[in-house]
Amino acid sequence: MQGRFTFEYAVIRIVPRVEREEFFNVGVIMFCKRKNT
């Protein structure tokens, strides 16, 4: 199957109150290292 690539990602979170275990997901960073063949 063509067009399949492996991606790595990280979720960016804001944690306003650590003691209350609250957080908001505010973004995602994605990375794909494509091999030239």
Q: Using a cut of 0.85, tell me whether the model's pTM lies above it.
A: no
Provide the 8-state DSSP code for 2: T
In the prediction, which pLDDT does 5 show?
Answer: 85
Q: How confident is the model at residue 12, as a pLDDT?
A: 97
Q: Phi/psi zone of residue 21: left (φ > 0), alpha (ψ -120 to 50 degrees), beta?
A: left
31 close to 9: Cβ distance less than 8 angstroms: yes
CA 30-18-23 angle, 5° bins: 40
pLDDT in tens, 1-37: 577 888 999 999 999 999 999 999 999 999 998 765 5
Model pLDDT, residue 34 = 78
